[in-house]
Amino acid sequence: MTKPYRHYEGLSPTNVSFWNNISGFTVAGMAISVFFQVNYNSGCGDFPQHYQVVGQGAMIGGTVGLFFNLLHAKIPNAYRVQPILVFLLRMYLAWIIMSYGMAKVFASQFPQLMANLDARMVELSPMRVAWAFFGYSKGYQMFLGWGEVIPALLLLFRRTALLGALLMVVVMLNVWLVNIFFDVCVKLNSFTYLAVATYIFLQYSNRLWKFFFTKQEVPAPYYPDLADRKAFRWAGIIINILLVGYILSDPIMYTYDYLGSANQSMPKNKLYGAWQVEKIEKWENGNWIAATATDSSNFNRCFFEGYAGVLQSSMKRQRFVYFMDSTDKQATLSFINNQNTRYETQIWTLEKPIADRLLLTGRISKDSLKMECTLRKDKLTFN
């Protein structure tokens, strides 16, 4: 980090610090805007509103950075702003990525779903193909997780921040490219985190350039004294300790709670399992008639696992989440589209005369269906 400008010195567009400040505030605006994205309860991002708020955050941040530069000479102790901004971005990125990393360390981000394991490749979306690949090996999931957790830990401390930023850029670039090429619906946020990591890494670009491409001696990094009073120094130390403690504990507690709730939310109720549809009928003109082979609703397989399910035919793959009622005779199915949004909810009735036989009756879109299913005995797990 270069020696900062003092409060009585102005900044001009010909100075690197001028654009560094604008870039920093722009990236900070993008990072903050993530918290203003609407949650559509889909587990997905990349909705138009998300792009809108991130764009607005970037513009607001860039504007603040521009005015900060123009007023730099009039702002007391303005030289403290940029180092504090970098510190906050380090804490932000470590906190966010730590949560993602811990989910992978405990092998909970890429579940092995029976419907995916039973499907042909052409029946899966690119995202599901990637999830099946990553979910095949718990060891590889843990490796990916530690690949995110370790850079996040390094970002927490000033002496290791450069190494953490370098590793984080590599990790987030890989994550972003996977999201792009496999059409994973978190492209926007992964790009935002990549931008934050890149900005942090570029703060060390001058020293890295000298080290790798010149024969000049690289001096020890310069860290400005941000607290000119003993009380302020102690306050900074306490704030730093509290932030680091929170960043370390919050993802661990969240992952612990998630795993606990996940174990409770994966009940093997009377619907659980992979079912072969032996007979399917549609209600037409006051009668139940057999579904034709060319009908997209002619489902031949159905899967119930936890609260997730899939109806599968040779032409259609319909995902849903479901909840049983207290009598275990009805289930509420919420059907999910390709954007991971629930678009329709229907109540289906069910009967289970014997353990390996299931009768389902319900509606999907305009079709009323009745299915007779038998429980499959083949293995649909990797383990």
Question: Would you tell me which CATH number, out of the four given (2.40.128.270, 1.50.10.20, 3.40.120.10, 3.40.50.720), belongs to the domain 273-375?
Answer: 2.40.128.270
pLDDT greater than 50 at residue 4? no
Residue 135's pLDDT is 84
The Cβ of residue 186 has, within 10 Å, a number of other Cβ atoms equal to 19
Residue 274's pLDDT is 93
Q: What is the pTM of this model?
A: 0.83
Domain boundaries, the chain: 16-264, 273-375
Residue 8's pLDDT is 42
pLDDT band of residue 110 (cuts 50, 70, 90) is confident
Residue 368's pLDDT is 93
Residue bearing the bigger pLDDT, 52 or 366: 52
Which range among 227-241, 296-310, 365-379 shows the weakest confidence by mean pLDDT? 227-241
Phi-psi region of 279 (alpha: psi -120 to 50; beta: other; left: phi over 0): beta
Structural contact between residues 70 and 135, judged by C-beta atoms closer than 8 angstroms: no
Residue 261's pLDDT is 56
pLDDT greater than 60 at residue 29? yes
Query: What is the distance between the alpha carbons of residues 87 and 89, in angstroms, rounded to a whole number?
Result: 5
Residue that the structure tokens 């702003």 belong to = 81
pLDDT band of residue 373 (cuts 50, 70, 90) is very high
pLDDT band of residue 42 (cuts 50, 70, 90) is low
pLDDT greater than 80 at residue 321? yes
Residue bearing the bigger pLDDT, 86 or 215: 86
Chain segment 323-342, per-residue pLDDT in tens = 988 888 899 999 988 777 88
Residue 288's pLDDT is 93
Residue 7's pLDDT is 42
The mean per-residue pLDDT over the stretch 12-41 comes to 91
pLDDT greater than 60 at residue 5? no
Which range among 3-7, 37-41, 47-51, 113-117 shows the weakest confidence by mean pLDDT? 3-7
pLDDT greater than 90 at residue 21? yes
Residue 6's pLDDT is 42
The mean per-residue pLDDT over the stretch 244-251 comes to 88
Residue 260's pLDDT is 63
